[in-house]
């Protein structure tokens, strides 16, 4: 299925990025020829690492309670790489950095939690009764028992605290803004009761208990539970929860909690209550509660062992018609996890609630997932193919957390990738199986390259398992999620599907019901397969994207083909020296007819291993050679098939002819696409260099002239695109991606002192040249893929593929800016019967200057003014537009009635969207930067997490030219020195300046 609105591939990337605010395709293109995947033997002597030539890529004691974490004692640990502590300058109000190396088990654990919520319009009262167990072991004689320090938050008012049934008097405890300290505790087990008062209606941070659209809801990951009551707010405290909720019945008819409904009933004064009990021990970050006026749609799923599970989605009444796709996606997810991993759902009820105000994408609370409404609600008229696909992926992701995250959870937050990397990998595989594996892989790699690689090369670079943080919220990153998923994929590639499944089975067998570490995961994979994975373990400790350098040598006399592979990882903050990591190189060799030749790998002892036609080399030294025998003619190598490792690969001496050959013939669809990307990258960088040599240019015309003078777009390049467009064996979604240029972000990595508007104009020049020369092909594809009149919308792979290629062609044609084409786009915009086509046409029109743009935007607003999710699109399109002088329009949108600064989605669409416009955010006069600086400080007074995501727009400042660097830096300095700044924003801004 096609998940891409074809208008601009870069827009896909942007949209995906937002889906992981955290927090997410062609049939017939499976890599069917990847027949034999067996780990190969490493041959060749390890030598000292040589710096590859690059494209500028330089750069846990005694008895613990049953629920406590099991440490990786009997199993090997991921090797430690030396780290210098990445110390930060002091924040004016003194935020504390936490370090992974400081992990210590807590002196007490909690086995059961009884919560009683009295929800009110003014005050909400929470009574929490904890059963506390000692975890401090044997004390020396005369030694005092340790204090119990419970986490809290400024806006949580302590009303009463009692220990073992005795209320404590004022002098008997200590309470600060962040902590409640209890001393002189009784020996053995005891009860603690804490009563707190909250004002959820004033909680604009959307962490803890808050209100959204009049309903009560909670968000506790990572450290939001302390915003509800004083608690040991850390994931290695796993307890059983019972929750009683009491509220006014008319205003809050629906009362939901984790687990099973045990009791409910009416109370005096129009009030009612419900009691929920969760039989599974869980960390507090998985606690959830919802109370409100909600409508529900229900389906049922019979599990593999024959249990009936009720699946319910709760939304506001007017949205009840938009939940079928999410329900269907949930059923598919449940079935897939049974079939793929043997994992069955463990309760009789699974609830999803959609809320409009949510900082991230969605949250996997035990049996009560809470979703950002944009990841639940869909109808053909209001949601695009990309939205449908994201909903399927995120519903899957949250469901899959029930095993990877909830049943087995993280010991501490430094281990976040243990659950997130693994669950993203699982949702990627789910999507690949439901739709097209190749298209999904390409999409994921595009996002990784354009956004995670950038993060990993900048000042916020961190290992997938970070060493330190001030605010954990800031570490829900592309690195932890997406690179983390790539690292999980390394095990899968090396061990094969069966080996991976064995590792997963052992992981659950060892750790079900426990809070564990990344070391434990690696150990389960290694032990289940009886292999050594130490060098894979280094991926958890080292930041930065490794460089892989490959040179090839064909010896006609001996008919051998030798690959010499070198690797290095550039230094990053606090890590100067990096060790070689395990890079699985999946490869094939193409013979003269374009078919794969058999791979016969020679071992160090002269033995030969038959790898079939696609093999996996285990490369884990600074340098190694691999020799294949019986290669009759010099082959064209297809390396890193399926992007088998998240590295930057340079193939020495790779020619355009070889890339064109791969683009035409490679049996690995990923590498076919990749060859086209490499060609386009070379061309774009060459044209950029030529355009930049002519000095600053801020208009498309001058840039175009310079590009033309530098040779323009060669016929061979146009010919290759023509061949892809005309290839009847290729699916439309794949085609759409194959004729899309690498993103500006991706290219920026190879440009010193980049000028973003100039780069934008160069890309647009190439698009326009392609459109000029391929016009007949593009027009034919639009006609061939157009809907038949009256055809209803279907979210199927085939239907999505038609829309993808059609809309991609339209976007290319629109670059011609011919009145006739613009008129056609206006007609398509007016006549569109689904949001995919409507927004595709509108996004073309928004890039044009003139009255058509304004008319289209006004009519779209008018049509959808009561559809808040569609208005997000309307805001986002305007914000990201590269139409000249658009800063003024974006400024005016802040005051538009459709814009609500307290709603995260609104801020993400408008501000983050704006931050992705190469032309207007990066306007040469600094007006874009000033606007964003103001917005960060304003939003920080409302919601720290959202503001911290916004300030990231400045993190890449060192990539740009001197003038822009100075202006961006001065915004960061202004932000860092702002009185009352949140810890969230402080952490990102101060690290960016380092």
- The residues that are catalytic are 398
Residue 18 interacts with ligand PHE (CB under 6 A)? Answer: no
Q: In angstroms, what is the minimal distance from the CB of 404 to ligand PHE?
A: 11
- How far apart, in whole angstroms, are the C-alpha atoms of residue 689 and residue 698? 15
Please compute Rg for the chain using Cα positions.
28
The region of 62-70, 216-224, 306-314, 824-832 touching ligand PHE under the rule CB under 6 A is 216-224
By C-beta, is 477 or 541 nearer to ligand PHE? 477
**Non-local CB neighbours of 24 within 8 Å, separated by 6+ positions:** 16, 361, 390, 393, 394, 397, 427
Residue 360 binding partner per list ligand PHE, Zn ion, none, with a CB distance cut-off of 5 to 8 Å that depends on partner kind: ligand PHE
CB 237 to ligand PHE: min, Å = 18
Residue 404 contact, options Zn ion, ligand PHE, none, Cβ 5-8 Å cut-off depending on partner type: none
User: According to CB under 6 A, which one of 228, 363, 582, 748 is a site residue for ligand PHE?
Assistant: 363
Q: In terms of CB distance, is 19 or 423 closer to Zn ion? A: 423
Neighbours of 137 (CB within 10 A): 11
Does residue 22 touch ligand PHE according to CB under 6 A?
yes
Residue 421's Cβ-count burial label (10 Å; 0-12, 13-18, 19+) is buried
- For residue 713, give the nearest of 656, 672, 779 by alpha carbon: 656
Binding mask 910-949 for Zn ion (x = CB under 5 A): ----------------------------------------
Sites for Zn ion among residues 389-428 (CB under 5 A)? 420, 423
Residue 223 binding ligand PHE, by CB under 6 A: no
- Label residue 130 left, alpha or beta by phi (over 0 means left) and psi (-120 to 50 means alpha): beta
Give the residue closest to ligand PHE by C-beta: 360
23 binds ligand PHE (CB under 6 A): yes
Half-sphere exposure of 895 (CA within 13 A, CB side): 4
Residue 219 interacts with which of Zn ion, ligand PHE, none, CB < 5 to 8 Å by class: ligand PHE
Residue in 233, 278, 357, 364 binding ligand PHE, rule: CB under 6 A: 364
Q: Which of 151, 221, 486, 847 forms a contact with ligand PHE (CB under 6 A)?
A: 221
Measured from the CB atom, the residue of 10 and 404 that comes closer to ligand PHE is: 404
Smallest separation (angstroms) from ligand PHE to the CB of 342 = 22
Beta pairing partners, 302: 308
Cβ atoms 735, 9 nearer than 8 A: no
Q: Which is nearer to ligand PHE, 397 or 735 (CB)?
A: 397
Query: Do residues 39 and 837 lie in contact, with contact meaning Cβ atoms separated by under 8 Å?
Result: no
Scanning 219-227, 790-798, 838-846, 891-899 for contacts with ligand PHE by CB under 6 A, the matching segment is 219-227
Minimum CB distance to Zn ion smaller for 476 or for 921: 476
What DSSP letter does each residue of 447-463 carry, written as one string?
HIIIIIHHHHHSTT---
Output 222 or 730, the one with its CB closest to ligand PHE: 222
Least CB distance from residue 227 to ligand PHE, whole Å? Answer: 12
Min dist. Cβ of residue 481 to ligand PHE (A): 7
| Contact code string over 396-435 relative to ligand PHE, x by CB under 6 A | -xx---------------------x---------------
Question: Tokens standing for 699?
Answer: 């208009």
Distance from C-alpha of 326 to C-alpha of 186, rounded to nearest angstrom: 50
Which one, 416 or 640, has the nearer CB to ligand PHE? 416
First to last CA, the chain: 44
Q: Which is nearer to ligand PHE, 355 or 445 (CB)?
A: 355
Residue 746 binds: one of Zn ion, ligand PHE, none (C-beta under 5 to 8 A by kind): none
Q: Is 212 near ligand PHE (CB under 6 A)?
A: no
Q: Which does 133 bind (CB under 5 to 8 A by kind): ligand PHE, Zn ion, none?
A: none
Distance CA 36, CA 110 (A): 50
Nearest to residue 264, comparing CAs of 291, 228, 229, 303? 291
Q: What is the largest CA-CA distance in the chain?
A: 95
Q: CB of 245 within 8 A of CB of 357?
A: no
The burial of 171, by beta-carbon neighbours within 10 Å (0-12 exposed, 13-18 middle, 19 or more buried), is given as exposed
Q: From the list Zn ion, ligand PHE, none, pick the one residue 476 interacts with, judged by a Cβ distance below 5 to 8 Å according to partner type.
A: ligand PHE
Six token digits for residue 36 = 């034999």
- Which helix or strand (DSSP H or E) is residue 264 part of? strand 260-266
Please choose, from the candidates 670, 562, 580, the residue with its C-alpha nearest in 3D space to the C-alpha of residue 625: 562
If we measure between CA atoms, which residue out of 657, 610, 604, 603 comes closest to residue 634? Answer: 657
Binding site for Zn ion (CB under 5 A): 420, 423
Binding site for ligand PHE (CB under 6 A): 22-23, 219, 221-222, 360, 362-364, 397-398, 420, 476
């Amino acid at each position: 299925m096609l998940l891409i609105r074809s208008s601009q591939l870069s827009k896909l990337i942007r949209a995906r990025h937002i889906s992981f605010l955290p927090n997410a395709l062609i049939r017939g293109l499976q890599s069917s020829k990847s027949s034999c995947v067996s780990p190969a033997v490493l041959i060749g002597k390890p030598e000292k690492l040589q710096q590859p030539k690059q494209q500028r890529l330089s750069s846990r004691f005694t008895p613990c309670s049953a629920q406590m974490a099991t440490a990786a004692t009997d199993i090997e640990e991921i090797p430690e790489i030396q780290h210098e502590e990445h110390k930060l300058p002091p924040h004016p109000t003194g935020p504390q950095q936490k370090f992974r190396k400081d992990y210590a088990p807590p002196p007490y654990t909690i086995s059961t939690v009884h919560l009683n919520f009295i929800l009110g319009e003014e005050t909400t009262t929470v009574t929490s009764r904890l059963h506390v167990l000692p975890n401090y072991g044997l004390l020396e004689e005369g030694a005092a028992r340790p204090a119990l320090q419970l986490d809290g938050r400024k806006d949580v008012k302590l009303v009463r605290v009692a220990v073992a049934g005795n209320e404590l008097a004022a002098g008997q405890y200590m309470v600060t803004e962040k902590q409640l300290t209890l001393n002189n505790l009784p020996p053995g087990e005891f009860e603690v009761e804490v009563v707190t008062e909250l004002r959820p209606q004033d909680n604009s941070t959307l962490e803890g208990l808050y209100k959204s659209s009049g309903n009560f809801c909670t968000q506790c990951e990572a450290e939001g539970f302390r915003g509800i009551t004083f608690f040991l707010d850390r994931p290695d405290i796993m307890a059983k929860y019972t929750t009683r909720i009491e509220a006014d019945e008319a205003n809050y008819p629906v009362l939901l909690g984790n687990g099973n409904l045990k009791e409910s009933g009416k109370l005096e004064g129009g009030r009612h209550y419900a009691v929920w009990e969760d039989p599974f021990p869980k960390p507090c970050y998985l606690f959830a509660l919802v109370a409100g006026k909600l409508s529900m749609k229900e389906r049922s799923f019979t599990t593999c062992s024959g249990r009936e599970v009720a699946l319910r989605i709760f939304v506001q009444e007017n949205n009840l018609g938009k939940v079928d796709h999410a329900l269907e996606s949930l059923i598919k997810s449940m079935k897939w996890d049974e079939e793929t991993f043997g994992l069955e759902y463990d309760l009789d009820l699974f609830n999803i609630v959609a809320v409009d105000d949510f900082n991230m994408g969605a949250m996997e609370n035990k049996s009560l997932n809470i979703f950002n409404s944009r990841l639940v609600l869909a109808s053909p008229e209001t949601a695009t193919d990309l939205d449908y696909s994201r909903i399927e992926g995120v519903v899957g992701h949250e469901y899959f957390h029930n095993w990877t995250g909830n049943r087995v959870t993280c010991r501490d937050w430094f281990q976040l990738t243990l659950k997130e990397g693994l669950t993203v990998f699982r949702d990627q595989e789910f999507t690949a199986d439901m739709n097209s594996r190749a298209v999904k892989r390409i999409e994921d790699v595009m996002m990784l390259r354009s956004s995670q690689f950038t993060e990993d090369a900048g000042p916020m670079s961190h290992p997938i398992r970070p060493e330190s943080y001030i605010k954990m919220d800031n570490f829900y990153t592309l690195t932890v999620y997406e690179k983390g998923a790539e690292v999980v994929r390394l095990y899968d590639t090396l061990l094969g599907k069966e080996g991976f499944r064995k590792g997963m089975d052992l992981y659950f067998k060892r750790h079900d019901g426990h809070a564990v570490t990344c070391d434990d995961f690696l150990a389960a994979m290694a032990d289940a397969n009886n292999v050594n994975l130490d060098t894979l373990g280094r991926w958890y400790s080292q930041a930065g994207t490794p460089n892989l350098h490959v040179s090839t040598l064909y010896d006609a006399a001996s008919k051998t083909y030798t690959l010499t592979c070198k690797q290095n990882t550039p230094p990053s903050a606090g890590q100067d020296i990096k060790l070689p990591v395990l890079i699985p190189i999946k490869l094939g060799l193409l013979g003269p007819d374009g078919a794969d030749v058999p791979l016969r790998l020679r071992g160090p002892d002269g033995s030969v291993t038959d790898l079939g036609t696609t093999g996996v080399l285990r490369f884990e030294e600074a340098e190694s050679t691999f020799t294949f025998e019986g290669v009759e003619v010099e082959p064209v190598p297809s390396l890193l098939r399926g992007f088998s490792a998240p590295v930057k690969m340079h193939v020495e001496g790779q020619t355009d002819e070889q890339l064109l050959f791969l683009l035409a013939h490679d049996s690995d669809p990923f590498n076919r696409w990749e060859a086209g990307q490499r060609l386009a990258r070379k061309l774009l960088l060459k044209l950029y260099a030529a355009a930049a040599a002519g000095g600053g240019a801020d208009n498309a015309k001058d840039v175009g002239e310079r590009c033309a003078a530098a040779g323009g777009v060669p016929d061979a390049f146009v010919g290759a695109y023509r061949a892809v467009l005309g290839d009847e064996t290729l699916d439309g979604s794949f085609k759409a991606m194959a004729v899309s240029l690498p993103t500006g972000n991706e290219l920026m990595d190879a440009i010193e002192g980049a000028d973003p508007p100039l780069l934008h104009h160069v890309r647009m020049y190439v698009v326009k040249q392609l459109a000029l020369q391929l016009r007949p092909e593009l027009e034919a594809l639009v006609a061939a893929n157009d809907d038949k009149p009256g055809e209803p919308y279907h979210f199927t792979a085939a239907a999505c593929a038609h829309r993808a290629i059609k809309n991609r062609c339209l976007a290319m044609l629109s670059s011609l800016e011919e009145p006739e084409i613009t008129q056609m786009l206006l007609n398509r915009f007016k006549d569109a019967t689904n949001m995919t086509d409507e927004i595709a046409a509108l996004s073309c029109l928004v890039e044009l200057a003139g009255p058509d743009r304004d008319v289209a935007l006004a009519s779209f607003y008018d049509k959808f003014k009561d559809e808040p999710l569609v208005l997000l699109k309307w805001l986002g399109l305007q914000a990201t537009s590269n139409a000249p002088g658009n800063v003024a329009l974006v400024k005016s949108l802040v005051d538009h009635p459709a814009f609500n600064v307290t709603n995260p989605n609104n801020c993400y669409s408008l501000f983050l969207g704006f931050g992705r416009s190469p032309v207007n955010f990066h306007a040469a006069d600094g007006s874009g930067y000033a606007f964003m600086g103001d917005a960060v400080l304003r939003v920080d007074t409302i919601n720290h997490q959202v503001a911290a995501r916004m300030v990231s727009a400045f993190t890449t400042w060192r990539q740009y030219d001197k003038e822009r660097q100075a202006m961006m830096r001065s915004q960061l300095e202004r932000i860092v020195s702002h009185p009352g700044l949140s810890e969230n924003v402080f952490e990102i801004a101060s690290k960016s300046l380092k």
